[in-house]
Structure 1
Amino acid sequence: MKKPTALRMHLIAAMPHLDRDPDKLLMFVDEGRILGTGTGTRSYEYQYTLNLILTNFGGNPDAVMVAVVDWLATNQPEQLDNNERRRDAIQFEADILSDDLVDLSIKLPLTERVIARQVEGRWETKAIDEPPSVETDWLTNFERRAAGG
């Protein structure tokens, strides 16, 4: 599974203080399962809920949420583009510790496709990137034109 690491790197780039204090960003894979393709191949899909937890977070929650939405737009676009999935795509809880500190838990339903094939008697696997979202591509082009680009 490579999406948890990719999201961690994205969040650190968006909020550099997490790199200085990495123990404040925890990640757990919950409710994981493997779904076979049903096609006779050995390829499969990971399906799981990624629970990311920011402990003793004193920043603006909007900074976290926009980073998560930005990452999802590229790495799990159907969670934002599909009306039925969008409703539950990002769930969160906050434990309010003080006036300016919270423990913030964000849950994301994620999938990762893996192609498996035998080469010279050994299994090789390759994680498959998400296809670009048609709606996201259109919106990006629209925003580029609106900005005069």
Structure 2
Amino acid sequence: MLKPASLRDHLTRALPDLARDPEKLMVLVPEGSIQSTLTDSLSYEYGYTLRLILLDFATHADAVMAPLLIWLRTHQSDLLDNPEKRAKAIRFSAEFLSTTTMDLVIDLDLTERVLARPRPEQSGALNLVHVPESAHISLYTPAGRPPDAHGTGEPGQDGLGREHWSFWLKDQLLAEWDYDPRPQAMRD
């Protein structure tokens, strides 16, 4: 499973408190399953609940929800696109520890497809390939304007599709980070 580490990295880069103290973010998979069919291929799909636990979280919940939604647009866009999934695939609970801190628990229903492809150079050997999700195309850039045809030239973008994001609640900076929505194979 690749998505838990990807989301941990994304949130740690987005939230300064987690960058300073990454142990305050726990990432668990409390339940999951594998789906496969009786075809000639050994390809399969992970289906699991990813649980994020932010301990002693002293920032507004928006600071984690907005970066989470950006990550989902790239890595599990069907949760936002499908009305049935959208209604129940992202869940949360909070325990308020004081007037300024809480333990925030977020559960996400995620999937990951894995293709099993024969290795041409070895008989009986397979390459297991994690299939990247079809990323949702943004209607607006972080600057609030429609993207140009190539995703370049927009303030906040570097010409390679990488974006700079920041989230504010009134005059308080909640989160700020650089984000590369391209599949890992297309980076650098």
TM over 0.5: yes
Distance 1:146 1:112, change over 3 A: closer
Quote how far apart the aligned CAs of 1:130 are. Answer: 0.2
Map 1:52-67 → 2, pairs under 5 A: 52-67=52-67
Structure 2 runs not aligned, ≥5 long: 149-153, 155-188
Where 1:117 maps in the other structure, the secondary structure is strand
In structure 1, the partner of 2:93 is 93
Which structure has the higher relative contact order (CA within 8 Å, separation 6+)? 1
Q: Which residue of 2 aligns with 1:72?
A: 72
Q: Distance in 2 between matches of 1:114 and 1:48?
A: 14
Partner residue, 2:146 = 145
- Which has the larger displacement, 120-129 or 5-14? 120-129
Q: Would you say the 8 A contact 2:140–2:147 is kept in 1?
A: no
After superposing the two structures, state which structure 1 stretch, 113-122 or 75-84, moved more. Answer: 113-122
Task: Give 1:131's aligned residue.
Answer: 134
How far apart are residue 90 of structure 1 and its match?
1.1
- Shift of the 73–37 alpha-carbon distance from structure 1 to 2, 3 Å rule, reads farther
* Identity in percent: 46
After TM superposition, the score normalised by the length of structure 2 is: 0.71
> One-letter code of the match for 2:61?
P
Kindly provide the amino acid, as one letter, of the partner of residue 125 in structure 1: L
Number of aligned residue pairs: give it: 144
Match of 1:103 in 2: 103
CA displacement, residues 19-78 of structure 1 (integer Å, 9 cap, x when unaligned): 221110001012211111453310000000000000000001101000111111110000
| Contact 1:118 1:124 (C-alpha < 8 Å) held by counterparts | yes
Normalized against structure 1, the TM-score is what? 0.88
Deviates more, 1:63-72 or 1:121-130: 121-130
| Cross-structure match for 1:11 | 11
Structure (1/2) with the larger helix percentage = 1
RMSD: 1.9
